[in-house]
Structure 1
């Protein structure tokens, strides 16, 4: 998921929101859990700054550049999911991956979900049951592999199970601000993965970019899928959908699409399958 504009008045307001024990999985040298301290949230913000602003060349505000942290007002009310490489340390120094998690209660404190700046998310707000906005996904360059991503998803699945999350959503990005460079990928997403009407979100009119630039049948779907970024592919494999319309973010040099994922397949893949495997080991 993409980064968003920093708020110069935002400050970290103390300890994390949820008990870190809600999510706790150790697999070899790696661990996934929620942040346990303000220091760990600060380290996650430092990793985000490194990836988004130094590696991906986004343009920080003076406040973000001065602190060398990617931060905003949403950080103060969200939970921060972490993957740690315990060979590097079991605290802030061990963090190699992070996701930001925002439930309805957190959005109520701020007054909005982040993605509402780009999309009319009424379908998510009105969705029965608990919803979860995912954001700020990033992994350290030397830890970008399937295992790290699966640890993050196992953590998300446990979090979703604990809070009885029914649907997850957020913005995901394609690089650059020229949608025509992604005509095949965007058209493929619109033609093959558009959300059903009852959960379909639409880009706000002032920022709406047409996704289906190519006619169905005018391109090779396999080649189109190959041009879809890995994170979006991961959401699609979990049964994810895209919303109607893309949004250009000039500040961060990316083109956003809206992603919606119902949690049933996520918990099946990352919790029940894992639990079955553990039972089999003891039978």
Structure 2
């Protein structure tokens, strides 16, 4: 079980129906859901993580994990609704899908929340001997033009290895196109990427070669994976330092 404290914040796994209700209400707020609740059929199958402000007990961040013994069952994941993941059926180690990550709007500027989140993920990955962490990382809105530098950077430097590459399944997608005639702005590319994705990439993560347009969530999302064995040693030490801190 996750039980992590770092400064102002603590992370723990949900243990009660009340915890799940709080998670779904925060997601409803963060994702602007009508009725104030965000829930789906995967919630009952997942382990949910809550990050709370220790001084007020306010829920400031949440996300969930869905475990599979290997890649043969990845077709039962949330991400498989949008991506053809047949290539990953051959992945032999334990895999975990991380999803529905959100931060309370009042706390969105605090980088310590993301650090605690990655510390909690590290605890979970180590405890469950996970070998592949994957999920859909979202870009706000559905206009790809505002993310052209970021998408070009992903295409040029961060595509999935051919043997694991997710294929197109959704009907509405934005292919990443590498146009060598256009000069891209590396600084803008970095700024356009969600913080979660930037952290994945620092760990050696890789992405699909296209984004899916999700009008229900009002996002463009990109399949992202990171093989635990390939995370640079220095990055592993940093993550485990956070995971072990009090």
Is the 2:120–2:243 contact (alpha carbons within 8 Å) kept by the matching residues of 1?
no
Counterpart CA distance in 2 for 1:230 and 1:128 is 29
Within-5 A mapping of 1:151-166:
151-166=116-131
Q: What's the CA shift string for 1:176-225, capped at 9, x where partnerless? A: 22323322211111111111112221231634421125337622333322
The 3-state SS of whatever aligns with 2:237 is helix
Structure 2 equivalent of residue 73 of structure 1 = 41
Structure 1 equivalent of residue 63 of structure 2 = 99
Larger displacement relative to structure 2 (78-87 or 117-126): 117-126
TM-score by length of 2: 0.87
Structure 1 equivalent of residue 213 of structure 2 = 248
Larger displacement relative to structure 2 (107-116 or 159-168): 107-116
Structure 2 equivalent of residue 37 of structure 1 = 16
Counterpart CA distance in 1 for 2:55 and 2:241 is 28
Q: CA RMSD of the aligned region, Å?
A: 2.5
Counterpart CA distance in 1 for 2:125 and 2:74 is 21
Counterpart CA distance in 2 for 1:100 and 1:75 is 8
Which one of 142, 147, 153 corresponds to residue 106 of structure 2? 142
Which one of 269, 273, 276 corresponds to residue 238 of structure 2? 269
Structure 1 equivalent of residue 199 of structure 2 = 234
Is the 1:203–1:246 contact (alpha carbons within 8 Å) kept by the matching residues of 2?
no
Within-5 A mapping of 1:165-176:
165-176=130-141
- Gap regions ≥5 residues in structure 2: none
Question: Offset of 1:233 from its aligned partner?
Answer: 1.3
Is the 2:27–2:100 contact (alpha carbons within 8 Å) kept by the matching residues of 1?
yes
- Gap regions ≥5 residues in structure 1: 1-21, 54-59, 279-283
The 3-state SS of whatever aligns with 1:246 is strand
Structure 2 equivalent of residue 125 of structure 1 = 89
Larger of the two Rg values belongs to structure: 1
Q: What's the CA shift string for 1:78-109, capped at 9, x where partnerless? A: 000111112113xxxx321111111116x999
The number of equivalent residue pairs is 240
Structure 2 equivalent of residue 206 of structure 1 = 171
TM-score by length of 1: 0.77
Q: What's the CA shift string for 1:154-191, capped at 9, x where partnerless? A: 11100000111001111111222232332221111111
Question: Offset of 1:230 from its aligned partner?
Answer: 2.1
Structure 1 residues 186 and 110 mapped into 2: Cα distance closer, same or farther (>3 Å)?
closer
